């Protein structure tokens, strides 16, 4: 280690989530705490009811959209290195969703600890790209921590969606996509693949799509799914597929955009006819390449398929251990 | 290989018949020869390849991937071919590999060279193509396409009907170049094989109201036997037994094949018959899908053929003749009476006479009556008019709905697949599943019921509060060791929703057992 204090006394898992003792804050707490640093706006990472919340401006905006302006007693937008307690923290783009960040924790005397949050290195038109941050301890997710997960080019997947729409012009295509991030990315991908016609969106997506547009992200013409007009492409949160909402569409093609769709059983369990492999998480090549590139002294793994990544670290001779954090979803929806 | 992989992937996830037909016909239309012919062979089970064992594939993967990472991945995926397709190290993919080239490798490579050849193919493919190759190599496509569906899709691509295609299908071999040429307007292929299958004539259902408009004197009637409809062809020294879709099932019935000492093509019902007594369908089931049949089973479950019709006889095509003339030809034929006999005609003067016969058949293996026009020629397919089936009234029980699962395609978002149960003591024992029988309006009501009465969820399956009774109609009942109830229903469907009936008053399992 480069400093005096051992890393595991600076950051460690607690019941409420990952805790930084010299800073006196939790990161992405699972239950309300006094002071929270939030990596991104997905509901299993950003929860309401904390005392003080620090996050990127966009993550704070998204939390306000989801939970109301008063989601925390006090709010602070991350802006350059900031002193909290006895540590300095800074936020860096994670490439996961709009506003998503990695959080770097720098104690005065101790190792630099990087909490990646959820991250992805595939270019994504709806958020800033992942940024490499030198660190001693790399705390990584491992959602797709098995060598079977190699996500194809997302534009190819969008091409498959458009090809299916051309092959079945009479059947509306319903794409299940998480309301924050994936939905807007699928819209942007469909646009990039050449779909200019209006796209219908489920009511649950409206405000988040509006926010993306307000942030300067082009989504093209959107119409409500309740009155889709001629729109043949419909975006909805996947949970809508199990509700009577889907009954209004005649003979739809159910599609779902997720990294899990690479495994056929996952698509079958959901009754999906057109699985699209598009993920906002690092796949196996990205996880392993990132560890090699950052070359940390130690890797800590928060959640996901940690056994696979641990084995890889063992084979690569990189010290690694699991934090076995519970409470985060595989890939939320 | 890209187009074939895409086709398999779409088919695997597409439950709807129409959508499957669209995918298939587009593929046949857009893919050049000979690839589309090899794909057709793979889909219809006529492609003979050197079989690759799972252990060989495992070994190939083991040489490339850490054993522990492979085991973790296999646990997650649950399917060996799929795991290997996903985990195989990526290399720079080459130009698209024609399906015919992959097939040639799998057909022609010697046993020793095969592992290296498969690895070399996998190296140049993308993950979906690798999966397609591995499914081909292990002989397990599992995409829910029958030979019949493939032929209907072929019919959509050209100017020929599925029946015409069926007529020549069995004389052709992969990659079916003359077939595709003919579909696009070329010459009709010459059939090389003798004793071909000819498309079967099928019947449509009829109601007493329909019958009132028909003249009984213009019709004959016979029993509808509950066996398997077959076509027995003995021509030019070859003997074949075809199912009604044209699959050759003769290998499982050597006893009947031996008795087919005639020259012609006959239409009848395959049955297990002991002397004059025809055994129930369950006995016939024991003889089906066997590669070899033990001598004891040949003795205890002798196969026989009960004739309905004749298509060709002594080299003459009798199909254009009226039914009564074909029947005369059948009656004049000399056949082995121990194995082959005629389905008797039923004496009736009025439809009421026939209704009385239908209501009280002398054997449980009779599932109704057939009504046929005396002057009708033998035509392929299911024309409405010349042949009717008038089935016995179904058996019914009142059962309790206990699980529901949502449907696909037009029923997306509706809970339409139901598991129902009968009482045994204080327990409800599942006895079957039903997907149809209700109207669209009833489907909406059932869907609402499911959503309001879910007590637990298991993935896509909802467990229901045992409140709703449905009348389930079914065509027959067989003993089954695979079901907890020990019984398996044939064609169960929901014939009535009993909103009025309290669940404790639903039928008991004993009641169903007694129907056996």
Q: Which residues pair with B30 in a beta bridge?
A: none
Structure-block tokens of residue B485: 């109830």
Task: Give the pLDDT confidence of A174-213 residue by residue, as tens digits.
Answer: 999 999 999 999 999 999 999 999 999 999 999 999 999 9
Task: Give the pLDDT confidence of B434-482 residue by residue, as tens digits.
Answer: 988 888 889 999 999 999 999 998 878 899 999 999 999 998 888 888 8
Task: Give the pLDDT confidence of B320-355 residue by residue, as tens digits.
Answer: 999 999 999 999 999 999 999 999 999 999 999 999
Report yes or no: A281 and A117 within 8 Å, Cβ to Cβ. no
Buried b (16+ CB within 10 A) or exposed e, B366-392: bbbbbbbbeebebebeeeeebbbbbeb
CB contact under 8 Å between A271 and B408, yes or no, is yes
pLDDT at res. A48: 96
On the question of pLDDT at A129 being above 60, the answer is: yes
Residues 6 or more apart whose CB falls under 8 angstroms from that of B275 comprise none
Report yes or no: A84 and A23 within 8 Å, Cβ to Cβ. yes
CB contact under 8 Å between B72 and A146, yes or no, is yes
Structure-block tokens of residue B207: 């109601």
State how far residue B77 is from chain A, nearest Cα, in angstroms.
6
Nearest by Cα to A255 from A267, A239, A240? A267
Structure-block tokens of residue A31: 């239950």
Picking from A164, A271, A274, the nearest residue to B406 by CB comes out as: A271
CB contact under 8 Å between A308 and B66, yes or no, is no
On the question of pLDDT at A302 being above 80, the answer is: yes
On the question of pLDDT at A262 being above 80, the answer is: yes
- Of residues B2, B20, B135, B224, which has the active-site annotation? B224
**Average predicted confidence (pLDDT) for chain B:** 92
Ordered domains of chain B (ranges, CATH): 204-391 (3.30.470.30), 395-515 (2.40.50.140)
Q: Cβ of B426: how many Cβ atoms within 10 Å?
A: 6
Confidence of residue B91 (pLDDT cuts 50, 70, 90): confident
**Average predicted confidence (pLDDT) for chain A:** 94
Chain B residues within 8 A of A249 when measuring between CB atoms: 412-413
Picking from B26, B76, B409, the nearest residue to A148 by CB comes out as: B76
Confidence of residue A303 (pLDDT cuts 50, 70, 90): confident
Numbered residues of chain A with Cβ closer than 8 Å to any chain B Cβ: 146-150, 152, 164, 167-168, 171, 241-247, 249-254, 262-265, 267-275, 305, 307-308, 311-312, 315
pLDDT at res. A331: 54
CA B268 to chain centre: 18
Structure-block tokens of residue A328: 């985060």
In angstroms, rounded to a whole number, what is the distance separating the alpha carbons of residues B136 and B158?
27
State how far residue A274 is from chain B, nearest Cα, in angstroms.
7
CB contact under 8 Å between A305 and B409, yes or no, is no
Phi, psi dihedral angles at A277 (to 5 degrees): -90, 90
Picking from B77, B78, B90, the nearest residue to A150 by CB comes out as: B90
On the question of pLDDT at A3 being above 90, the answer is: no
Is-catalytic flag, B240? no
pLDDT at res. A333: 39
Report the percentage of chain B scoring pLDDT > 70. 99
Instruction: Tell me if residue B107 falls in helix, strand or coil.
Output: helix
Report yes or no: A146 and B73 within 8 Å, Cβ to Cβ. yes
Q: Cβ of A247: how many Cβ atoms within 10 Å?
A: 15
Q: Which of A87-91, B70-74, B435-439 is least confident?
A: B435-439
Torsion of CA B382, B388, B389, B393, to 10 degrees: 130
CB contact under 8 Å between B77 and A263, yes or no, is yes
CA A294 to chain centre: 20
State how far residue B163 is from chain A, nearest Cα, in angstroms.
26
Mean pLDDT of A100-122: 96
Task: Give the pLDDT confidence of B385-423 residue by residue, as tens digits.
Answer: 999 999 888 889 999 999 999 887 677 788 999 999 999
Report angle CA B486, B487, B489 to the nearest 5 degrees.
160
Q: Cβ of A121: how many Cβ atoms within 10 Å?
A: 20
State how far residue A112 is from chain B, nearest Cα, in angstroms.
30
Confidence of residue A140 (pLDDT cuts 50, 70, 90): very high
Numbered residues of chain B with Cβ closer than 8 Å to any chain A Cβ: 10, 12-16, 19, 22-23, 26, 65-66, 68-69, 72-73, 76-79, 82-83, 86-87, 90, 127, 406, 408-410, 412-414, 447, 451, 459-460
Torsion of CA B184, B186, B187, B190, to 10 degrees: -60
Q: Which of A245-259, B91-105, B250-264, B308-322 is least confident?
A: B91-105
Extract long-range pairs of B207-214: CB within 8 Å, 24+ residues apart: B208/B351, B208/B355, B210/B388, B211/B351, B211/B371, B211/B388, B211/B390, B212/B351, B214/B351, B214/B371
Extract long-range pairs of B234-237: CB within 8 Å, 24+ residues apart: B234/B195, B234/B260, B234/B261, B234/B262, B234/B263, B234/B264, B235/B194, B235/B195, B235/B263, B235/B264, B235/B265, B235/B312, B236/B194, B236/B195, B237/B194
DSSP state of B508: B
In total, chain B counts a number of residues equal to 516
CA atoms within 13 A on the CB side of A264: 21
For strand B487-490 and strand B219-225, is the pairing parallel, antiparallel, or unpaired? unpaired
Mean pLDDT of B225-238: 94
Picking from A150, A247, A274, the nearest residue to B414 by CB comes out as: A247
pLDDT at res. A15: 93
pLDDT at res. A330: 55
**ipTM confidence score:** 0.95
Instruction: Tell me if residue B385 falls in helix, strand or coil.
Output: coil
CB contact under 8 Å between A273 and B12, yes or no, is no
């Amino acid at each position: 280690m480069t400093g005096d204090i051992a890393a595991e006394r600076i950051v460690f898992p607690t019941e409420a989530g990952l805790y930084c003792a010299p800073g006196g804050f939790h990161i992405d707490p699972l239950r309300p705490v006094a002071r929270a640093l939030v990596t991104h706006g997905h509901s299993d990472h950003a929860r309401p009811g904390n005392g003080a919340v620090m996050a990127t401006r966009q993550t704070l905006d998204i939390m306000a959209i989801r939970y109301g302006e008063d989601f925390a007693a006090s709010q602070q937008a991350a802006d350059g290195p900031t002193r909290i307690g006895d540590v300095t923290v800074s936020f860096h783009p994670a490439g996961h969703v709009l506003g998503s960040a990695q959080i770097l924790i720098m104690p005065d005397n101790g190792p630099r600890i990087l909490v990646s949050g959820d991250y992805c290195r595939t270019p994504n038109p709806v958020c800033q790209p992942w940024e490499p941050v030198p660190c001693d301890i790399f705390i990584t997710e491992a959602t797709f921590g098995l060598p079977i997960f190699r996500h194809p080019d997302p534009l190819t997947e969008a091409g498959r969606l458009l090809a299916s729409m051309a092959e079945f012009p009479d059947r509306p295509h319903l794409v299940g996509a998480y309301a924050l991030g994936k939905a807007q990315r699928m819209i942007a991908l469909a646009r990039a693949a050449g779909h200019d016609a209006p796209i219908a969106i489920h009511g649950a997506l409206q405000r988040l799509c509006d926010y993306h547009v307000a942030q300067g992200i082009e989504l093209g013409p959107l119409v409500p799914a309740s009155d889709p007009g001629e729109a043949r492409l419909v975006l909805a949160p996947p949970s809508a597929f199990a509700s009577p909402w889907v009954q209004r569409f005649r003979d739809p093609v159910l599609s779902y955009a997720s990294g899990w769709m690479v495994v056929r059983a996952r698509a079958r369990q959901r009754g999906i006819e057109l699985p699209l492999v598009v993920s906002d998480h690092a796949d196996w090549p990205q996880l392993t390449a990132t560890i090699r590139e950052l070359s940390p002294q130690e890797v800590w793994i928060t959640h996901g398929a940690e056994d696979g990544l641990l084995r890889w670290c063992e084979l690569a001779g990189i010290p690694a251990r699991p934090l076995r954090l519970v409470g985060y979803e595989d890939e939320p929806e | 290989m890209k187009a074939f992989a895409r086709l398999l992937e779409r088919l695997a996830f597409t439950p709807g018949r129409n959508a499957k037909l669209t995918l298939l016909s587009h593929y046949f239309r857009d893919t050049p020869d000979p690839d589309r012919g090899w794909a057709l062979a793979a889909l219809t089970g006529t492609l003979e390849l050197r079989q690759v064992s799972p252990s060989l594939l495992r070994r190939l993967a083991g040489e490339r991937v850490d054993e522990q990472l492979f085991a973790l991945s296999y646990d997650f995926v649950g399917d060996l071919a799929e795991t290997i397709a996903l985990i195989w190290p990526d290399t720079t993919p080459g130009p698209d590999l024609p399906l015919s080239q992959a097939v040639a490798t799998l057909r022609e490579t010697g046993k020793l060279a095969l592992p290296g050849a498969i690895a070399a193919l996998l190296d140049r493919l993308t993950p979906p193509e690798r999966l397609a190759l591995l499914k081909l190599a292990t002989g397990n496509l599992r995409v829910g396409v029958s030979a019949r569906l493939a032929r209907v899709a072929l019919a959509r691509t050209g100017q020929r009907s599925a029946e015409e295609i069926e007529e020549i299908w069995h004389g052709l071999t992969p990659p079916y170049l003359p077939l595709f040429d003919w579909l696009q307007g070329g010459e009709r292929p010459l059939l090389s094989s003798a004793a071909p299958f000819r498309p079967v004539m099928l019947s449509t259902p009829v109601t007493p109201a329909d019958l009132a408009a028909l003249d009984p004197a213009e019709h004959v009637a016979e029993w509808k036997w509950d066996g398997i409809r077959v076509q027995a062809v003995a021509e030019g020294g070859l003997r074949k037994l075809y199912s009604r879709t044209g699959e050759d099932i003769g290998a499982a019935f050597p006893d009947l094949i031996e008795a087919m000492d005639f020259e012609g093509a006959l239409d009848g019902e395959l049955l297990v018959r002991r002397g004059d007594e025809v055994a129930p369908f369950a006995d016939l089931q024991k003889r089906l899908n066997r590669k070899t049949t033990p001598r004891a089973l040949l003795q205890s479950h002798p196969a026989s053929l009960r004739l309905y019709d004749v298509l060709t006889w002594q080299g003459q095509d009798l199909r254009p003749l009226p039914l009564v003339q074909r029947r005369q030809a059948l009656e004049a034929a000399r056949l082995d009476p121990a194995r082959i006999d005629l389905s008797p005609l039923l004496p009736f003067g009025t439809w009421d006479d026939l209704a009385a016969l239908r209501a009280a058949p002398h054997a449980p293996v009779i599932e109704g009556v057939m009504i046929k026009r005396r002057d009708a020629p033998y035509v392929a397919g299911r024309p409405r008019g010349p042949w009717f089936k008038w089935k016995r009234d179904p058996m019914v029980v009142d059962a309790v709905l206990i699980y529901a699962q949502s449907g696909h395609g037009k029923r997306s978002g509706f809970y339409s697949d139901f598991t129902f149960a009968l009482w045994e003591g204080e327990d409800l024992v599942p006895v079957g599943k039903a997907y149809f029988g209700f109207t669209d309006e009833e489907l909406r009501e059932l869907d609402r019921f499911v959503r309001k009465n879910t007590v637990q969820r298991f993935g896509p399956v909802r467990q229901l509060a045992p409140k709703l009774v449905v009348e389930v109609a079914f065509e027959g009942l067989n003993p089954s060791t695979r079901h907890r109830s020990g019984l398996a229903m044939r064609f169960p469907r929901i014939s009535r929703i009993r909103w009025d009936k309290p669940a404790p008053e639903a039928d008991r399992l004993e009641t169903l057992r007694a129907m056996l």
